[in-house]
Amino acid sequence: MKTIAIIGGGAAGMMAAGFAASAPETAVTLFEQNPRTGAKLRITGKGRCNITNDTSPAQCMENVVSNPRFLFAAFHRFTPADTILFFEDRGLPLKTERGRRVFPQSDNAGDVVAVLTRHAEMANIDHRKVVDVDKTKEGFVLTLQDRSQRVFNCLLLATGGMSYPKTGSRGDGYGFAQKLGHTVISPKASLVPLYCKEKDCSRMTGLSLKNVTLTVADEKGKKPVYFERGEMLFTHVGISGPLVLSASALLRDKSLPKTVYIDLKPALTPEVINQRILKDFESNLNRDFTNSLSGLLPKAMIPVVVERSGIFPRKKVNTITREERKTVCSLLKAFSLTVTGLGS
Ligand SMILES: Cc1cc2nc3c(=O)[nH]c(=O)nc-3n(C[C@H](O)[C@H](O)[C@H](O)COP(=O)(O)OP(=O)(O)OC[C@H]3O[C@@H](n4cnc5c(N)ncnc54)[C@H](O)[C@@H]3O)c2cc1C
């Protein structure tokens, strides 16, 4: 009989526990420090849990931003189709939404945890924290929170990363792995907000931009680090939202500062924007410049764009020159910010 210890009752640990326990001649113990399994899973996908994407393994790999080859075996040995079958076979009806994202029909991440917990219950679940690990000639020695010790033939670390430490993942596994002789590189934050130098951001805190493009420029002449269309928002120290979180994954290993450009009107060419500005101006020639942009910009952005344009806010629109209009167009097509750091 092979004895296996798994530390961590999250998605990875529960999946591994169930499959290991169903193999012949194994006795599996899953250690989870929280009173309930899957604490982080319960908050995923805004409480709905985006279980997988209904795509091929190759498409999955295309969407992994760094070192996709590392996941080649995992994606091919247990494909998105296998994941869908796994949950449906265990009585959880699923649905596929925009972007081929798969969710439980109940929109309840708790139902996903319930399926995984039932699967993991094929093993013995021990709700104690593992405080130390050691490798001796008897095997892997685990010291538990009450100082008792257990010895196992095999050990699997499934303690998660370091994000959302309140859910229990505080990085214990890195220390355990290091102690057992593995090389651990310092974890870097990914999918995080970005800090920006400009004070403009705090003036627009909470403003959400939909259907814009975000470009992260690299050195001159090089392909941009990131270019995508979607949603983002301003925070008091910089920018956040789906586009920004994705971009942050690509900035982890880049030197900062970097300039990012927001195209507020990606569907319109500068010429079309110029025509629209002219039309708006002509509808009321005596209007002040600062009062003429509401058709083109969200309210919170107007004072910032006016200031950046260098045009006197009270200037009458009938006196605004072609060059000045060009400046406004440039600001709408490439509103720039300087990223100075990654948030946490
Ligand atoms: C806000 C948010 C939303 C997300 N949304 C999605 C989504 O929709 N779809 C998706 O696929 N992914 C999503 N993710 C990512 C997903 O949550 C993680 O990839 C996943 O939880 C990782 O699973 P894991 O088992 O490796 O680690 P975790 O889920 O972090 O589990 C690790 C477990 O180990 C336990 N543990 C740690 N140390 C010890 C110890 N010393 N002794 C005993 N137990 C210990 C912890 O208590 C914890 O329960 C989201 C993440 C966040 C933060």
**Ligand 1 within 6 A of CB of 15:** no
Residues 85 and 213 in one domain: no
Distance 82 CA to ligand 1 centre (A): 20
Same domain as 36, residue 134? yes
Helices (H) and strands (E) in the chain, counts: 11, 16
- Decide: 266 and 213 in contact? Cβ < 8 Å: yes
- 79/112 same-domain check: no
Query: Residue 209 has what DSSP assignment?
Result: E
Which residue segment(s) compose the domain that 84 sits in? 50-107
Examine the fold and report which residue of 149, 171, 187 is the final residue of a domain before the chain moves on.
187
**Pair 177, 195 in one domain:** no
Residue to mutate, 15, 19, 41, 44, ligand 1, most ligand atoms under 8 Å from C-beta: 44
ipTM for the complex?
A: 0.99
Copy the structure tokens of residue 18: 């169930």
Print pLDDT tens along the chain (344 aa): 999 999 999 999 999 999 999 999 999 999 999 999 999 999 999 999 999 999 999 999 998 877 899 999 999 999 999 999 999 999 999 999 988 999 999 999 999 999 999 999 999 999 999 999 999 999 999 999 999 999 999 999 999 999 899 999 999 999 999 999 999 998 888 889 999 999 999 999 999 999 999 999 887 777 898 999 999 999 999 999 999 999 998 888 888 999 999 999 999 999 999 999 999 888 888 899 999 999 899 999 999 999 999 999 999 999 999 999 999 999 999 999 999 999 97
Q: CA end-to-end span of the chain, whole Å?
A: 44
Shared domain for 177 and 28, answered yes or no, is: yes
We report the CATH number of the domain holding residue 249 as 1.10.8.50
Same-domain pairing of 166 and 288: no
Distance, C-alpha 51 to centroid of its chain: 15
- Single residue among 147, 162, 187 that ends a domain in this structure: 187
How many Å lie between the centroid of ligand 1 and the Cα of residue 10? 5
| Buried-state track 98-110, b at ≥16 Cβ within 10 A, e below 16 | eeebbbbeeebbe
Name the domain count of the chain.
3
Atom of ligand 1 nearest to the CA of 34: 47
Examine the domain organization and report whether 180 and 210 are in the same domain. Answer: no
User: What is the distance between the alpha carbons of residues 163 and 254, in angstroms, rounded to a whole number?
Assistant: 21
If DSSP codes are grouped into helix, strand and coil, which group holds residue 233? strand
Q: How far is the CA of 142 from the centre of ligand 1 (A)?
A: 21
Cβ of residue 45 lying under 6 Å from some atom of ligand 1:
yes
Pair 113, 103 in one domain = no
CB atoms within 10 A of CB 157: 20
Closest residue (by CA) to atom 1 of ligand 1?
A: 44
Using the structure block, give the residue that is written with the tokens 């498409």: 59
Both 232 and 342 in a single domain? yes
Q: What is the pLDDT of residues 117-171, one digit of tens each?
A: 999 999 999 999 999 999 999 999 999 999 999 999 999 999 999 989 999 999 9
Three-state secondary structure string covering 253-293: CCCCCEEEEEECCCCCCHHHHHHHHHHHHHCCCCCEHHHCC
152 lies in the same domain as 297 = no
Whether residues 182 and 98 fall in one domain: no
Domain boundary among 107, 130, 147: 107
Please tell me what DSSP assigns to residue 185. Answer: P
Q: Is 163 in the pocket of ligand 1 (CB under 6 A)?
A: yes
Q: Are residues 180 and 195 in the same domain?
A: no
